[in-house]
Structure 1
Amino acid sequence: MTEKRIAIVTGGASGIGFGISEALVKAGYVVVLVGRNEERLAEAAERLGPAAQWRRADVGCRSDVEDAFSGFSRIDVLVNAAGFIRPVSLATPVDEAEQNWDAVVAANLKGSFLATMIAAPKLVSPGGRVINISSIGAQTGGSRAGGLAYAASKAGLHGLTFALARELAPRGITANAIAPGFIADTGFTGAWPEERVAEIVAETPMGRAGTPADIAGAVLWLVSEAGSFVTGTVIPVNGGWRIG
């Protein structure tokens, strides 16, 4: 009997992470959702069905990640999708700015680093995949003030991706990042005023917001055999927003 392929998705219980998890389940993977909110994890796993499991962990905490990954002897795919945004601008009081900076970098950058470090010895070789979910903000600095921490953490994720690709390539393992543009139906978009959403869509040549399924499609390509010679790249999935 063929051994089931294992995919771990941090931040997999909501938004883009859930969309990726759902696509991987449909592609035949056993998907392990990792996140901090047990209620949300359990609900998401129930929605995904018997091929989904969950582990509670704060990805910025090494012991949490070690515990979450300890039950697996092999990992085929690691998707680092956990992360969030807290506003940090030059106008933010420095105490608040530092606190928000540390929290954002811990989740978005350190969390991806820790998860990959701990997963690396378990990644199938050859054939393993590491996929980091970045953001268009890494390349633009964000579309409004307040993105200092978020943009820096996501830009750091690009450097991490390039370095991982170099180190994992001799084992036949790829490492890539996906940089979404404006994606609807996530926890990020609820705070955006309708007028700003309309402006973004008007600036996007494809004429619509993205969806988690758009990001999941890129993930499915990268984990497939068709993506086996692609490593050390940042793939923009933004409907052309940067050129809009």
Structure 2
Amino acid sequence: MTEQTGTGSTGTSPRVAIVTGGSRGIGRESAERLAADGFAVVVNFAGNQAAADETVGAITEAGGRAFAFRADVAEETEVAALFDAAESTYGGVDVVVHAAGVMTLAPLADTDLDALDRMHRTNIRGTFVVDQQAVRRLRTGGAILNFSSSVLALAIPGYAGYAATKGAVEAMTLILARELRGRDITVNAVAPGPTATALFLDGKDEETIARMAAQPPLERLGTPDDIAGVVSFLAGQAGRWVNGQVLRANGGIA
């Protein structure tokens, strides 16, 4: 782990954000957006060091501060080490964006139970572990942002296992917001609709993608930048009065 600092860095202590799943897709875009907002960013990744380094490079080339740190979000000791690294490098943690997740699609009757267990481990246990460390570590005025999915409300066939994990994420989010009464820490979930990321596009033919893109009134897929804008809002001062909510960022699909 080596901190990289761009030319725009100052000597002042920045607000600090940890972004899990920060090496690609929505996580990467969120990490870059928060860095542009002035946060020092810890880019968490599970296995793709090169992609995480690319994210850090993009941040530092734009003048921001960032470093990459490998941790399995479902492993308590590894997540604790992630927070330790953020605290030792930047002095504390203010915002946690938990964007790490996995998705396997199949009808319920055909779902491989090992795949279900993997989704449960990353999406449910991972959220619990990351949020648990966040609750113990975040400074006053902080924010926890979990990730759900708009497919939970759409009841799309083939998404039973994945949507079930995101239902658990929403339950944790709403309860945790209330458990943090008096701490001045907000807890919200972002629930993207169909978004043009590798996680969404993998395994879908062009006809399926076109059909899903046509569903929202805005008649397109979301982009990682669309979702990063929501993350920026909830992590910043403008979003301080939004708490205990699931924000469905989906172009009006539901």
TM-score normalised by the chain length of structure 2: 0.88
Which AA in structure 1 matches 2:68?
Answer: W
Structure 2: which amino acid aligns with 1:233? Answer: Q
Q: CA offset at residue 228 of structure 1?
A: 1.0
1:100 equivalenced with 2:115 (yes/no): yes
> 2:6 corresponds to which residue?
none
Gapped regions of structure 1 (runs ≥ 5)? none
Aligned residues: 236
The alignment's TM-score, normalised by the length of structure 1, stands at 0.91
1:178-217 correspondence runs (5 A): 178-217=190-229
Q: Of residues 69, 74, 84 in structure 1, which corresponds to 2:92?
A: 74
- Alignment check: 8 A CA contact 1:9 1:21 kept: yes
**Aligned amino acid, residue 92 of structure 1:** D
Name 2:147's counterpart in structure 1: 133
Match of residue 58, structure 1, among 72, 86, 89: 72
Question: How far apart, in 1, do the equivalents of 2:199 and 2:242 lie?
Answer: 30
Q: Does 1:144 align with 2:157?
A: yes
In 1: Cα distance, 2:27 partner to 2:119 partner: 17
Any idea what SS the aligned residue of 1:220 has?
helix
Q: What is the rounded CA distance, in whole Å, between the counterparts of 1:19 and 1:152 in structure 2? A: 26
Identity of aligned residues (%): 36
Contact 2:149 2:190 in 1 (8 A): yes
Picking from 237, 245, 251, the partner of 1:233 is: 245
> Given the alignment, which residue of 22, 43, 48 partners 2:54?
43
- Residue 189 of structure 1, CA deviation: 1.4
Which residue of the partner structure matches residue 3 of structure 2?
none
* Structure 1 residue 88: Cα displacement: 4.4
Question: Displacement of 1:174 after TM fit?
Answer: 0.3
CA distance in 2, matches of 1:108, 1:154: 7
The answer to whether the 8 A contact 1:87-1:100 is kept is no
Looking at structure 2, the residues matched to 89 and 202 of structure 1 have their Cα atoms a distance apart, in angstroms, of 23
Q: Which amino acid aligns with 1:228?
A: R
Alignment match, 2:33: 23
Aligned to 2:133: 118
Q: Structure 1, residues 114-135: CA drift from partner, whole Å, max 9, x if none?
A: 011112222111x100001110
Is 1:4 matched up with 2:14? yes
> Conserved in 1, the CA contact under 8 Å of 2:16 and 2:92?
yes
After TM superposition, which residue ranges in structure 1, 4 or more long, deviate above 3 angstroms?
A: none
Q: CA shift at 1:39, angstroms?
A: 2.5
Q: Aligned partners of 2:217, 2:45: CA distance in 1, in Å? A: 34
- Whichever residue aligns with residue 41 of structure 2, its letter is V
1:168 to 177, 180, 187: 180
Structure 2 unmatched ranges of 5 or more? 1-10
Q: Hey, what's the Cα distance between the residues in 1 that align with 2:136 and 2:226?
A: 30
